Amino acid sequence: MKKIEGFLRKLSFNIRRDKELELNRRGFIASSLSLMGVLFVSSTPLMVLSKNREEEAHDSEVFIVNEKDIAVGQSVSFYYPDENDSAILVRISEKEYRAYNSKCTHLMCPVYWEKDTGKLTCPCHNGFFNVEDGSVLAGPPPRALPSIKLKFKGKKIYAVGITQAQH
Amino acid sequence: MAKVLYIDYERCIGCRACVIGCEECSGHDHLSRMFVDELNPGETVAASPTPCMHCVTPACAESCPVQAIAIADDGTVLSASLEKCIGCKNCTYACPFGIPRVDDVKKVMYKCDMCYDRTSKGRPPMCASVCPTDTIRFVDEHEIKAEPPKEVQFKWDFGGTVIETRTVIGMPDTDTNRYGFREGDGVQS
């Protein structure tokens, strides 16, 4: 009990002159600034890691659709890399295709292709994505949709890889 | 080893040399931090010189809102720092011994700092140097607390709160003495 009281006294009363500078106003500011510095320095490995994010390669080639079965301006939904990851393929011109993971990055509602406006739309909270690169156009989603790499083999379209979006 | 004040009330003759000495000490600004109270004026010359008791857990320093009162390395409770003190008088109300005073002109608290200029260099404080009867002495703390020459007190009970002080008070021998005079061979009426 005496020890606890002594500890609390030491903590709350800054009255010893030899220890005065340990926690006065300047000491407090200096210690909080140095704590911020330590946190900043310790977060640099994470910054490097996030810059070095590699494309997730998957060995599996998943057949999506034949080229003749999808008209320009139409979309097809599929699953990649496994059955729990819904994805959407959009043919935006004669030779251009885009494929994205169709879970909205906000709350994972399924995103659908709206042909009239030319945007990928999430109906839950009015999130809109650019069909060209999956970036956010409007609404609450915090980051772009993960894009899926495509491969063409004899008029057939395969999904071969997925790239997590950069912030 | 730290040295402390030892005050033996029985030896005091009430000459107030300590008060004058305290006023003359450099840095004391002609304000005495030593108070001499007469115990029974007219009956006897017995008096009690009272400097700061230099508590181990000083209530004045703990109550100070701006931490103006500091404890030095050797345990001496210093007078308020002139830059910090705001003259709020918290210390005068907190001190159980009534030691801190406030200079109402300058609005600054002043109290005994055991002549820190002198004691930090090993010299005795002014009051102990000038005392003609050795009432106030500057002695080794451990020695006076462990092997006192007579009954001493340095722990004070204020309604359950025990305060230990560095200043040691020699207790009057109340069994055979009255107000410092021996029964029988003192002043006969």
Is the predicted pLDDT of residue A108 greater than 50, yes or no?
yes
Enter the pTM of the model: 0.58
Residue B59 is predicted with a pLDDT of 93
Residues of B in contact with A24 (CB under 8 A): 67
Q: How far B170 CA lies from chain A's nearest CA (Å)?
A: 27
Residues of A in contact with B73 (CB under 8 A): 17-18
Residue A160 is predicted with a pLDDT of 85
B120: Cβ–Cβ under 8 A, 6 or more apart, which residues? B72, B74
**Percentage with pLDDT > 70 across chain A:** 93
Q: Which of B57, B67, B72 is opposite residue A14, by nearest beta carbon?
A: B67
Residue A26 is predicted with a pLDDT of 80
Which has the closest alpha carbon to A122: A134, A110, A130? A110
Residues β-bridged to residue A150 = A159
Residue A167 is predicted with a pLDDT of 46
Q: In this complex, is the C-beta atom of B153 within 8 Å of any C-beta atom belonging to chain A?
A: no
- CB atoms B61 and A9 under 8 Å: no
- Residue B126: phi and psi, rounded to 5, are -60, -40
Residue A59 is predicted with a pLDDT of 65
With beta carbons less than 8 A apart as the criterion, state whether B163 and B58 touch.
no
Residue B173 is predicted with a pLDDT of 76
- CB atoms B72 and A13 under 8 Å: no
B175: Cβ–Cβ under 8 A, 6 or more apart, which residues? none
Give the tens place of pLDDT for each residue, A41-85. 999 888 888 777 665 556 678 888 888 888 888 888 888 877 888
CA distances (Å), origin A146, targets A70, A135, A137, B47, B98: 22, 9, 15, 91, 76
Tokens of B170: 């020699």
Q: In this complex, is the C-beta atom of B61 within 8 Å of any C-beta atom belonging to chain A?
A: yes
pLDDT beneath 50, residues of chain B: 180, 189
Residue B137 is predicted with a pLDDT of 94
- Which residue carries 């009272």 as its tokens? B50
Q: Distance between CA A166 and CA A161 in Å, rounded? A: 16
Q: Distance between CA B109 and CA B64 in Å, rounded? A: 11
Give the tens place of pLDDT for each residue, B128-158. 999 999 999 999 999 999 999 889 999 999 9
Q: How crowded is residue A100: how many other Cβ atoms within 10 Å of its Cβ?
A: 23
Give the tens place of pLDDT for each residue, B80-96. 999 999 999 999 999 99
Tokens of B2: 């730290």
Q: In this complex, is the C-beta atom of A53 within 8 Å of any C-beta atom belonging to chain B?
A: no
With beta carbons less than 8 A apart as the criterion, state whether B101 and B54 touch.
no
Residue A166 is predicted with a pLDDT of 55
- CB atoms B67 and A15 under 8 Å: yes
Give the chain B residue nearest A18 (alpha carbons). B73
Q: How far A28 CA lies from chain B's nearest CA (Å)?
A: 15
Tokens of B117: 């200029």
Residues of B in contact with A16 (CB under 8 A): 70-71
Which has the closest alpha carbon to A120: A137, A95, A96? A137
- Which residue carries 């490995």 as its tokens? A45
| 3-state DSSP assignment of residue B54 | coil
Residues of B in contact with A15 (CB under 8 A): 58, 61-62, 64, 67, 69-71
- Residue A83: phi and psi, rounded to 5, are -75, -15
| Backbone torsion region of residue A118, taken as left when φ is above 0, otherwise alpha when ψ lies between -120 and 50, otherwise beta | left
Q: Which of A13, A18, A24 is opposite residue B61, by nearest beta carbon?
A: A13
